[in-house]
Structures are given as C-alpha cells and as structure tokens.
Amino acid sequence: MSKLSICIPTYEYKGKGVEFLSHLFSSIKRQTFKDYDVVVSDHSVDDNIFEFCKEQSEEIEIVYIRNEDGRGLAAANTNSALEFAEGEIIKLIYQDDMFVNDLAFEKIVNVFDNTNANWMMHGFTHTSDGYETHRSCVPEWTDAMLEGRNLLGSPSCFVTRNECKMFMDTELELLIDTDLYHRMRMEHGIPIILPDILIANREHNDRVSDLNSSLYDAYVEHPAGGWMVNRRELEYVLAKHGQERHYPDEIN
C-alpha cells in the first residue's frame, strides 16, 4: 500500500482528455516524494485515456477503473476514484489541473505525519495554457460555505486521511465541493490550511463551474459580495442540512 494515493476522475473532455492528463502526469513525475500511486476513474466513451494510462504505467503505478456508473456526473466519477484509493493519504485532483510545486507530495505528507489533521486544503493558482500561472490564493473558510461561498478552493485542493474520506453527493454538480466540505467539517473538524501553492486550476470554457454555464440561474446576496448558484441545488442542500451552522470544533 502506498503512503499517498492521487485520485483523478477523467473523461474524454471533448478530445482534450489525454492532453490535459499528460500535463498532470508530467507534474506528478516531477514530485520528489515517490511513495505514491495514481487512481484513474475513467468516464470516457473511447479508449484514448486507457491507452495513455497503459503507456504511463511503465513509470507510474496506476490503478485504472473503467467507470460506466453515473457517466457525465463529476460526483459519481470522483466517488469511484476515492473508493478504489488504498493509500494512507488521499489527494484528489481533476485531470485538467496540475501540480505546480515539485515538493507538493512531500509537503502534504509532512502535514499528516506531523499534525493530527483529518483533512486539509492547500493553496492554489490558475492557468489558462498549462504553463503560465496567475491569481494565487490561500484557502479560507467562509460563513456561507454550504450556500456556495467557496474560498477554500476546488476539489483539486482537497486531501484527506483514507479513514476519514467522504463521498460526493451525486445529486449535485455546482455545489459538490461545498457540500462535501460542510460534511467533512461536521464529521472531522475544520481542515488544516496549508498556504503553500501546490496546484493550478485550469481555466477554460468547458469547466462545469464556468460562469457562463446555464446551470447558474440564481444569485445569493452577501455583505462581502454575492455569487451565482443553481437554485435547485441551493434549495436541495439547505433542505438536506437544515439551518445548523454550528460546527463541533467551534467554541460556544
């Protein structure tokens, strides 16, 4: 069993799947920490990612899953990757993102080896071309996480101990991350925040979270500035969790 499992949900991505994944794999190979495996859960309708993973398996230990369940749903594919991960520590990253720090794995493992953290979030930046980066961010918990005010970062910034892992709600698309973070904090306490910038989120128009997506159909007002959400999803998570916003780790 590896110390660290890197979980990557994949699909053909309108013909860009292998290109994106190759950038990510290149950033994985540069890591100084080597006790890891890679779990790929593939929603593709073709064999391109499978063939690519077969080639890469000469250099990287890869667990490949051909996943036909919930095809087209990021939550379902993410859950499949998490389910098959056997490492002591699980690092989630989506195929269009990449590591930008060659010490990323080492830094993640050091946090879990030297603290009592159950889960953590780390710093992130953004890229449009897979090379140049901009707009670096340090994760921050917000008072309206469940409603979608997400300053913690995308699921590509999420790391957890295997025994603490929780799965995404397949009823959600836009709020899959904030719903997960809310449940993780309820069950396992507030995450450790590592300010170091470890990954880059790729910005492109094919992202589910792209602001031009038709999924955004409602606006949430907030003193710090509002944000767009999907009305059905917002109503769903509020009904699911009720009005409780007091976390067990908070002081009364």
- Count of Cβ atoms closer than 10 Å to residue 125 Cβ: 17
Residue with tokens 């250099």: 59
Q: Minimal CA–CA distance to 110: which of 33, 52, 39, 37?
A: 33
- Please tell me what DSSP assigns to residue 89: E
In a domain, 127, yes or no: yes
Answer whether 125's CB lies under 8 Å from 158's CB: no
Q: What is the pLDDT of residue 161?
A: 98
In a domain, 250, yes or no: no
Pinpoint the alpha helices (H) of 115-230.
176-188
In a domain, 252, yes or no: no
Q: How confident is the model at residue 14 (pLDDT cuts 50, 70, 90)?
A: confident
Pairing between strand 218-220 and 119-127? unpaired
pLDDT in tens, 155-181: 999 999 999 999 999 999 999 999 999
CA distance 236 to 214: 18
Count of domains forming the chain: 1
Q: What is the pLDDT of residue 210?
A: 57
In a domain, 83, yes or no: yes
Q: What is the pLDDT of residue 240?
A: 95
CA distance 41 to 76: 10
Answer whether 97's CB lies under 8 Å from 200's CB: yes
In a domain, 166, yes or no: yes
Mean pLDDT of 176-199: 97
In a domain, 148, yes or no: yes
The CATH number given to whatever domain includes residue 217 is 3.90.550.10
In a domain, 20, yes or no: yes
Phi, psi of 173 (to 5 degrees): -120, -55
Q: Token pair of 180, please?
A: 């997960």
**Three-state SS for 133?**
strand
Q: What is the domain extent for residue 132?
A: 4-241
Which strand (E) or helix (H) includes residue 198?
strand 192-202
